[in-house]
Amino acid sequence: MSSSGTFILDSCRTKQGISFWKITDGSLEIAHHDQSPSFLMNFSEPDQHRDLIEELHSTYKISECSFRSIYEEYLGYKVQAGREVAEKIEKQTNYMVSLFNVDIRPEQRFAAEHTIVPGGVTGTDRFNPEHEFPGTCMEIAFSENPHRSEHTGIVSVTDVDRKRPYLLDGSDRQNIDDLCDIVQSSDPDLIFFPDYDRWSSYICDLTDKWGIVNTLSRTGRFRRLSSRSYFSYGRMEHRLGAMIPEGRVIVDTRQSFMYREGDARGIFLASRLSGLSPNLTCRLTPGTLVSSYEVYEALARGIAVPFRKNDAEAHRRLDDMRLDFRGGLTLQPQPGIYENVTQIDFTSFYPSIIVKYNLSPETLEYPEKPGFLASVLEPILDLRLITKQRKRVDPTYAGMDGILKWMLVTCFGYTGYKNARFGRIEVHEQITLRATELLQECVSKIGDLRGRVLHAIIDCLFIQECDPLYAQRAIEELTDIKTEIEQYDWIVFLPQIDGTGSYGNYYGRLESGKVKARGVAARRRNTPPYIRQMQEEMLKRMACECEIDGIASHWPEVRGLYRQYSNGLRDADPQDLVIKRRIGRERYQNKCIPQAVIDVYRQHGVELVPGMDASFIVRDEKGLLVDPSFAPKDIDTRYYQRLLDRAWKEIEFVHKVCEM
């Protein structure tokens, strides 16, 4: 791994400019850089705005310049001022001005313009996965639940050099004072702290109140990251607010999606790609990360980043909007159980299409022109192939691969987002059109090989009756896109309520003996642990057999598990019946379980906002009575029996099919 050189630990903005925290040969140093805000502007008819331009000249430093976007070159002005001035110019010109580089994070802009790479070693290609973190680590945990308590409880602090943790069991004042002393003494560069984002404001308030120096930030200063709810991929999400430290990275290991999917190495990789501090990348969504990556690449290449979108979709005739642009291709499977099935998955299918076909907003009319989107996605697509291959023999690459996977997954949806900096609806449509055409060609190719396509869904195929490796090679030669294959000894495609095949609900036994399941109770996040465990045990029993005929011999045992769990439901541990559900609204108009959950949490002093997860137990479904998971009273046995029966039916379907 790359260990020589200087590692950029953190970047943060100051009143004077930007500060970078660096680790060189084990020593920490700070580099300060002056930077003032500026933006670019262009008028299509500058003569109409001469008075405004002269007024700006008298107040701010302004100079004529040329710059380029992904579309064209502009003659305009560089204004040494911030966003507030830019927004006033918009209003004064009735939005007859094009503005660029207005709302870029100052630290990201400086990093891109000076090729500084946060989260990586200077002088090493940021697309190289071999960046070693040279700093020290610490783990901190509070025993109390931040949802229902404002007391730290027992504080556990594990230093990287200690095998056993410090346990702080005093008053909150004593615990926080001792914690700050330990952090100052050990001075770790990276802290793993579950629920830090929930505790951070509480800690900052108490240290201010008691006059304790809050050493969680190396400067004692914190930047407040506001909480917000937002809609993404069909559901509400919520980001907690947090107090972001300076000079030290603190990761909320419980709340951070990016940490769960990418661990510390993945977070540092995201930082290198986006040009943002690891303190931010561990708290951002994959969509925001891929957007930030595109912004960094644009700035590094001297491409101006638009402030307001005015090209989300071009004007089109209705008869030009063909049915070809309705989304990816899916072929509905016939419900049943099948033997010797091969699943062929394309690796990062949509991003690969963007690169393969040079799809980008500026190439829609000029396909021969090098596309910005294609050029910036190609290196992370290549990097994904490397991490995907290496993680098979070295699990430490799994985190980086997870981060890249999610960034590449969201880059497709981002092209159709109305506010995407470098997106456009027509690009989104072209991607799905190309994907549909490719998958149709693949289905035909399998037919040419005398194979049978059981199911196809957007970026994968389930096939039978042809050699798996030969089929894989044929598809890769046809599409010029890498694939992976999985071989099932048997697989079950479940029916929908109307009896037709479900597109996304299936399970099967892989050649390795492991069970792979999608869409069933054991995989759904709102399934109570008790019911999930029942179905997992059933699948494990069934997976003892590699042939369909052999499954029948285990059926008495599988049915016995159903009776065992059904009979034990009344006496189950309430924590095993907890349901986790994401709250989608501030208030529901009709009386329903989600509204009951919001009300009961409020009674316990916890405010739920859209996008937050809530854990609860249903006490009386008809009476809409629920209890929070931390204060259970009783359970509605009939309600949970119905959930258990649904999970059982997904398994029992196999027995019914085999008896036919």
In this structure, are 364 and 458 located in the same domain? yes
Same domain, residue pair 509 and 610: no
Same domain as 588, residue 450:
no
Are residues 471 and 585 located together in one domain of the fold?
Answer: no
| Domain final residue pick, 519, 535, 552 | 519
What is the rounded CA–CA span in Å between residue 185 and residue 166? 13
The identity of residue 498, as a single letter, is D
Which structure tokens are listed for 86? 């830019």
Looking at the domain assignment, is residue 110 inside a domain? no
pLDDT band, very low/low/confident/very high, at 604 (cuts 50, 70, 90): confident
Location of structure tokens 């380029």? 68
Same domain assignment for residues 588 and 464: no
Residues 510, 411 share a domain: yes
The tokens for 196 are: 């830090």
195 and 273, same domain (yes or no):
yes
pTM of the model: 0.90
Q: Is residue 444 situated within a structural domain?
A: yes
Q: Average pLDDT of 183-204? A: 94
Do residues 143 and 156 touch, judged by C-beta distance below 8 A?
Answer: yes
205 pLDDT band (50/70/90 cuts)?
A: very high
- Structural domain contains residue 311: no
With beta carbons less than 8 A apart as the criterion, state whether 424 and 364 touch: yes
The whole-angstrom separation of Cα 364 and Cα 225 is 38
pLDDT band, very low/low/confident/very high, at 641 (cuts 50, 70, 90): very high
Do 269 and 328 fall into the same domain? no
CATH number of the domain within which 267 lies: 3.30.420
8 Å CB contact between 358 and 371: yes
Q: For residue 229, give every residue at least 6 positions away whose Cβ sits within 8 Å of its Cβ, in sequence order, or none.
A: 236, 237, 238, 239, 609, 610, 611, 612
State the Cα angle at 104 between 103 and 105, rounded to 5°.
115
Structurally, the chain folds into a number of domains equal to 5
Lowest mean pLDDT among 229-243, 281-295, 447-461, 576-590: 229-243
Do 92 and 197 reside in the same domain of the chain?
no
Residue 317 belongs to some domain of the structure: no
Q: Which of 642, 536, 624, 532 lies closest to 580, judged by CA?
A: 532
Average pLDDT score over residue span 439-466: 94
Specify if 486 maps to a domain: yes
Strand duo 137-142 + 190-192: pairing: parallel
Report whether pLDDT(322) > 60.
Answer: no
Strand order in the sheet with 6-13: 6-13, 17-24, 27-34
Comparing 225 with 329, the larger pLDDT belongs to 225
- The pLDDT value recorded for residue 146 is 76
Q: What is the mean pLDDT of residues 607-624?
A: 90
- To 5 degrees, how large is the angle CA 598–CA 599–CA 602? 85
Task: Please check whether residue 23 lies inside any domain of the structure.
Answer: no
- Kindly state whether residue 107 falls inside one of the protein's structural domains: no
Spatial distance between the Cα atoms of 293 and 442, rounded to a whole number of angstroms? 32
Last-in-domain residue among 491, 519, 547: 519
Compute the distance between CA of residue 511 and CA of residue 489 in angstroms, rounded to an integer.
6
Q: What is the dihedral of CA 540, 541, 547, 548, to 10 degrees?
A: -110
- Confidence tier at 656 by pLDDT (50, 70, 90): confident
524 and 506 housed in the same domain: no
Shared domain check, 454 and 386: yes
Contact 259, 250 (CB under 8 A): no
pLDDT digits (tens, 9 = 90+) for 537-596: 999 999 999 999 999 889 999 999 999 999 999 999 999 999 999 888 888 888 899 999
User: Of 462 and 410, which is predicted with more confidence?
Assistant: 462
Same domain, 258 and 126: yes
Q: With bands split at pLDDT 50, 70 and 90, how would you rate the model's confidence at 230?
A: low
pLDDT at 343 over 70: yes
313, part of any domain: no
Residue 608 — very low, low, confident or very high, per pLDDT cuts 50/70/90?
Answer: confident
The answer for 72, left when phi > 0, alpha when psi is -120 to 50, beta otherwise, is beta
Task: Find the domain containing 561 and state its range.
Answer: 520-572+638-660
**Average pLDDT of the segment spanning 201-210:** 94
